[in-house]
Amino acid sequence: MANSIKNVVVVGASGSLGKEVAQELVKAGFNVTAFAREDTTATFPSNLTVKKVNYDSVESLTAALKGQDAVVSTIATVAVGNQGPLVDAAVAAGVKRFIPSEFGINTRIVGDDVIGQILVGKIKTLDYIIEKSKANPSFTWTGVSSGLFFDWGLKYGSVGFFKDSKTAIIYDSGNEPVQASNLAFIGKAISAILAQPEKTANQYISIASFNPTQNQILKIVEAETGEKWKVEHATTAEENKIGLEKLGKGDYSSFVNFLKRRVFSDGAKLAVEGDKNAIGVLGLQEEDLTASVKAWLSS
């Protein structure tokens, strides 16, 4: 098939998400090349071809992308605004599909939410990709919103649960369903996107392993540990206030506060349930929430 995708570059394949995505792509039978910075200190598994690149040089990126069918960028948040040369090079090298480093909230629907000021690098990059795709129809794109990284977020606290102290921070009522995806699941979704290029071309999709509420997670951790956890209640209004204070001082760590407000607020309605969850189209099924929480508790 003329449009089939076989050779895939993962940009930032040494990262939290990139590592998992690269391995899921290998498992799905793609030939995977990892792009890394020239001065990276990362090490890579032997099943990946590694190319060290200069992300500022369209010329050298174009040469490195020759023969590649798709680029999956999982580049670090700090670098999302610098994907322009990579996009230009992908077009020049004849890459058929570009998946930019999105993988969080759906940046197409932020409207005038202040969080958009922080996500501007992602938003502008995708605008640019869409513009390039319109001018070069063989260059296609897919945007992926995954919601919160779930397994990563349990480990690093962004879901609000801390197993060492058996503490949960519950925002507002704790009853808002939250779009969340495990890292390997995002890799499986990307594999499914690339395996079905026509079906997934030029669209922004939202996926979720599941859409748990914080109170559902609390119930699971208490049942699994056999203990009541200490619950600290917080409000997303306060998170927003802290975020605005930080942003006023140019502190972009305010993203975390705005993110909590955006996803955990009562009535946020950002869960991707039923037809809103593109996993059906991709041929994937929701994951088991209890099993995911148990895996974290026993890790």
**Interface with ligand NAP (CB under 6 A):** 12, 14-18, 36-37, 40, 42, 55, 74-80, 101, 103-104, 146, 148-149, 153, 158
C-alpha torsion sign, points 282, 286, 291, 296: positive
E strands, the chain, are 7-11, 31-37, 49-53, 70-73, 97-99, 140-145, 148-149, 161-162, 167-171, 180-181, 203-206, 230-234
Beta bridge partners of 99: 72
Question: Is the CB of 86 or the CB of 220 nearer to ligand NAP?
Answer: 86
Closest to ligand NAP by CB, 5 or 159:
159
The three-point CA angle 229-234-239 to 5° equals 140
Residues near 298 by Cβ (< 8 Å), separated by ≥ 6? none
Beta carbon nearer to ligand NAP, 128 or 222: 128
Q: How far is the CB of 20 from ligand NAP (least distance, A)?
A: 9
Nearer to ligand NAP, 3 or 299 (CB): 299
Please identify, using beta-carbon distances, which residue of 45 and 94 lies nearer to ligand NAP.
45
* Nearest-5° Cα angle at 114, 111 to 120: 75
Q: Which residue is nearest to ligand NAP (CB)?
A: 15
Residue 284: strand, helix, or coil? coil
Q: Which is nearer to ligand NAP, 136 or 252 (CB)?
A: 252
* Least Cβ distance, residue 120 to ligand NAP (angstroms): 13
CB of 259 to ligand NAP, least distance (A): 8
What's the CA gap between 210 and 89, in Å, rounded? Answer: 36
Q: How far is the CB of 1 from ligand NAP (least distance, A)?
A: 30
Smallest distance from ligand NAP to CB 15, Å: 2
CB of 50 to ligand NAP, least distance (A): 9
